[in-house]
């Protein structure tokens, strides 16, 4: 069995992604106006959608992160994380191609990491991890599996 298919490795990735997404959501939830400004810097969506995106994205990140951490609805949570990472990859790549000198808005609504090749590489690694979690065996240390087993027995 290879490391990539080992359920313990997939669990490690699942928990790590959960932590990343929870930690990314918290500052955005605390400062929705600041996050809306960070979204606007990308110039990727129409202005009328920026506020809505800034209000919807952090709770989605938080829910997906908690789902991954606890292993509850982790198939859906991992798919949401994968989809979000693909969107983030695209946003960073487009910002890079446009030569925008902006912070990513990932973990901080004011400043933070700059959009650049290293941020894109970091995002691609997280995307690959999300893909592996989505396609891998997520059962080990999963609260969702324990709950379903209890329900099946009754």
Domain boundaries, the chain: 3-138
CA distances from 125 to 33, 93, 98, 134 (A): 29, 14, 22, 14
Q: What is the pLDDT of residues 76-111, one digit of tens each?
A: 899 999 999 999 999 999 999 999 999 988 988 777
* Residue found by looking up tokens 């990314």 in the block: 24
Q: What is the pLDDT of residues 19-74, one digit of tens each?
A: 999 999 999 999 999 999 999 999 888 988 988 999 999 999 999 999 999 988 88
pTM of the full structure:
0.84
CA distances from 27 to 31, 111, 117 (A): 6, 12, 24
């Amino acid at each position: 069995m290879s490391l990539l298919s080992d359920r313990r490795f997939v669990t490690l990735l699942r928990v790590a992604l959960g932590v990343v997404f929870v930690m990314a959501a918290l500052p955005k939830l605390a400062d929705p106006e600041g996050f809306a400004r960070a979204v606007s810097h990308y110039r990727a969506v129409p202005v009328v959608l920026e506020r809505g995106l800034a209000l919807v994205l952090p709770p989605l990140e938080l829910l997906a992160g908690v789902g991954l951490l606890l292993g509850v609805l982790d198939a859906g949570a991992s798919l949401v994380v994968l989809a979000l990472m693909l969107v983030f990859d695209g946003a960073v790549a487009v910002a890079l191609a446009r030569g925008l000198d902006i912070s990513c808005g990932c973990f901080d609504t004011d400043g933070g990491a700059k959009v650049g090749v290293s941020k894109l590489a970091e995002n691609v690694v997280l995307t690959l991890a999300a893909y592996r979690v989505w396609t891998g065996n997520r059962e080990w240390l999963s609260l969702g599996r324990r709950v379903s087993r209890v329900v099946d027995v009754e």
